[in-house]
Amino acid sequence: MSLWLNGIGVSRGIAIGRVQKLSGGDLEIPEYAIADGAIDAEIGRFVEAQARGREQLQQVRSQVPAGIGGAGQDIAAFIDAHLQMIDDRSLTEAVAGAIRSSRINAEAALKRQRDALVAIFEQMDDPYLRARRDDVQQVSARLLRILLNRERKLPADSAGTPAEPNIIVADDITPADIILLAQAGVAAFITEYGGPLSHTAILARSYGIPAIVGLHNARRLLKDGEAVIVDGDLGHALADPEAQALRFFRAKRDEQHTRRAALSGLKEKPAVSRDGTKIRLLANIELCEDATHAADLGAEGVGLYRTEFLYMNRKTQPTEDEQYEVYARVVASVKGPTTIRTLDLGADKQVDSGARSGPTPNNPALGLRAIRLCLKEPEMFRAQVRALLRASAHGDVNIMLPMISSVAEYRQATAFIDATREQLAREGARMAAHVPVGAMIEVPAAALAAPLLARYCSFFSIGTNDLIQYTLAIDRVDEEVNYLYDPLHPAVLKLIRTTIEAGDRARIPVAMCGEMAGDPRYTRLLLGLGLTEFSMHPASVLEVKRIIIESDVRALRAQAANLLETGDPQALAALMSA
């Protein structure tokens, strides 16, 4: 009998195949006492397990394939993170300490330390850091399996037959195992744990393999060898499907393949609408390595480089020179312009190396965040601005200021940048003659004051993620109110239109870099609102380009004007992309 199961779809696409469960799931971890005279030998057993784990990871790292875009570097970085963790003192020294002080076996000591570290990671507000809990669990699981002689055997032939490839079902999958399984040609992954920021999810997306995470009890509910359909878009799995369902999903999968193949032909084509409007398609990047990946996927430059990721996963802030080297590398590797956003720390993005300490504010999203924090911490801001201005000697740099809420605040920030430039010039530093500075429009006050702000800004970029949060008074990370998060709310559309209009009047470019810009459902609507620069996750560039090429911008503008005036739901439906 067919069975529908629901999890979180984290890597898009349809896969049809047979269930293959990964063995060695939950481990029974025994705890027993160690005699005084055997303690050194027990610690030695743990050290040997560490060496074996290190060896296994190094072997997998040497097999990271070339030819999967920028993902190869990401994957190697994940494995390096696990290699580092195997040797991390917080894990290893504590285990040896517990064996000695509590006189217990290595497995039990490791389990205690793992649980303590996981509890710390779980309390972190930052979702990226919280997801590092998975690394602790995966590294501990590897060592526990070695200690218990229960090493996970990856299926020798994981690909199945071409007609019926395998769909891997597991409690969780380590990055190292994902690489081996992807190379073996598995069709999809289903895991019981993990979220959209887990490494399983990130790697599955990099490899383009459909994946569902957080599907609780998947190993109990799915049988080995059973037919299953995975819909990575919606997070559904259908076990033992009937003929009619199989026909439907096969058709959907084939349609997706055809669409993807057709899109790759658009890479070299300009993003020009049917009636001749040229649109600029740019990439949002988080890491230096993403820049090359973005160009491979057809982006004309970088519209948002989120620099705060440079400050994450470390105890101290990056120095000016360290930042300069990273920015210069990004700028030199991007063909078009690189719009670098100054630090947007605070709210949901907290870091260990954050400048400020003290009690957590009641409303962090409304507190000392982004440009507010930078202006309050001039030394931290100065190091970044100096690094950015120096990097401008290597290419086309724009500096973008996040969370601007007033003209006075914007001018305070630009006065700071000007003073920093003068100081650098006195020191004889090399810089571009002109570095455009612009504002992110992500606070409703900034959108409403856009005509005034436009007098001082070289460009605007609309950050819809925050603009929607602040306009509709919905915390973007609060699951309880997620259902109210509505990019199509008339107030949001009006603020977008006001911003674009103000930019057009002042003859400054207006881009959009929030998630809305990369969601193909909204492309026609945004074209209708007059948007001509879209910045997005690189994987969406070609799909958005296809819609632009098929659109008549003049007609869409008339339709959007009508929508703003009447709020007619039918006018809205007509503007949404199919």
Contact, 212 vs 192, CB < 8 A? Answer: no
Among 53, 165, 463, 530, binds Mg ion (CB under 5 A): 463
Long-range contact set of residues 314-318: C-beta below 8 Å, sequence gap at least 24: 314/351, 314/352, 314/353, 315/352, 315/353, 316/353, 317/353, 317/355, 317/380, 317/383, 318/383
Contact, 531 vs 510, CB < 8 A? Answer: yes
Long-range contact set of residues 557-560: C-beta below 8 Å, sequence gap at least 24: 557/527, 557/528, 557/530, 559/528, 560/497, 560/525, 560/528, 560/529, 560/530
Closer residue to Mg ion in complex, CB, 78/470: 470
Q: If binding is defined by CB under 6 A, does position 463 make contact with ligand PEP?
A: yes
Structure tokens at 514: 């929030």
Q: If binding is defined by CB under 6 A, does position 556 make contact with ligand PEP?
A: no
**Contact stretch for Mg ion (CB under 5 A) within 7-15, 152-160, 214-222, 435-443:** 435-443
**Contact stretch for ligand PEP (CB under 6 A) within 6-14, 84-92, 93-101, 459-467:** 459-467
Q: How far is the CB of 495 from ligand PEP (least distance, A)?
A: 12
Q: Scan residues 361-390 and list those touching Mg ion (CB under 5 A).
A: none
Phi, psi (deg, nearest 5) at residue 506? -85, 0
Q: How far is the CB of 57 from ligand PEP (least distance, A)?
A: 32
Whether 216 sits among the annotated catalytic residues: the reply is no
Distance CA 526, CA 519 (A): 10
Q: Which listed option, Mg ion, ligand PEP, none, makes contact with residue 175 (CB within 5 to 8 Å by class)?
A: none
From residue 10 to residue 49, the character string flagging contacts with ligand PEP as x (rule: CB under 6 A) and all else as - is ----------------------------------------
| Core vs surface per residue 20-49: b (16+ CB within 10 A) or e | bbbebeeeebeeeebeeeebeebbebbeeb
Among 192, 231, 409, 442, binds ligand PEP (CB under 6 A): 442
Closer residue to ligand PEP in complex, CB, 158/535: 535
Which helix (H) or strand (E) is 41 found in, with range? helix 39-61
End-to-end CA distance of the chain: 34
Whether 457 sits among the annotated catalytic residues: the reply is no
Q: If binding is defined by CB under 5 A, does position 231 make contact with Mg ion?
A: no
Which helix (H) or strand (E) is 308 found in, with range? none
Closer residue to Mg ion in complex, CB, 137/464: 464
Closer residue to ligand PEP in complex, CB, 139/304: 304
**Contact stretch for ligand PEP (CB under 6 A) within 65-73, 213-221, 461-469, 544-552:** 461-469
Q: If binding is defined by CB under 5 A, does position 487 make contact with Mg ion?
A: no
Size of the residue set binding Mg ion (CB under 5 A):
3
**Of the listed 293, 374, 513, 537, which one is catalytic?**
513
Q: How far is the CB of 286 from Mg ion (least distance, A)?
A: 13
**Contact stretch for ligand PEP (CB under 6 A) within 156-164, 261-269, 463-471, 551-559:** 463-471
**Contact stretch for Mg ion (CB under 5 A) within 65-73, 160-168, 170-178, 436-444:** 436-444
Q: If binding is defined by CB under 6 A, does position 533 make contact with ligand PEP?
A: no
Among 273, 350, 392, 464, binds ligand PEP (CB under 6 A): 464
Q: If binding is defined by CB under 6 A, does position 465 make contact with ligand PEP?
A: yes
Q: If binding is defined by CB under 5 A, does position 466 make contact with Mg ion?
A: yes
Structure tokens at 226: 């059973």
Closer residue to ligand PEP in complex, CB, 240/348: 348
Q: If binding is defined by CB under 6 A, does position 344 make contact with ligand PEP?
A: yes
Closer residue to ligand PEP in complex, CB, 74/519: 519
Secondary structure (3-state) at 165: coil
Q: If binding is defined by CB under 6 A, does position 475 make contact with ligand PEP?
A: no
Distance CA 216, CA 224 (A): 17
Distance CA 80, CA 86 (A): 10
Contact, 39 vs 109, CB < 8 A? Answer: no
**Contact stretch for ligand PEP (CB under 6 A) within 110-118, 356-364, 386-394, 460-468:** 460-468
From residue 279 to residue 318, the character string flagging contacts with ligand PEP as x (rule: CB under 6 A) and all else as - is -------------------------x-x------------
Q: How far is the CB of 514 from ligand PEP (least distance, A)?
A: 3
Which helix (H) or strand (E) is 166 found in, with range? strand 166-170
Q: HEC string of 413-472? A: HHHHHHHHHHHHHHCCCCCCCCCCEEEEECCHHHHHCHHHHCCCCCCEEECHHHHHHHHH
Q: How many angstroms separate the Cα of 555 from the Cα of each of 141, 278, 533, 558?
A: 58, 15, 18, 5
**Of the listed 82, 199, 293, 537, which one is catalytic?**
199
- For residue 486, which amino acid is it? D
Structure tokens at 292: 């090359």
The residues carrying an active-site annotation are 199, 513
What residues make contact with ligand PEP under the rule CB under 6 A?
304, 306, 344, 442, 463-466, 513-514
What residues make contact with Mg ion under the rule CB under 5 A?
442, 463, 466
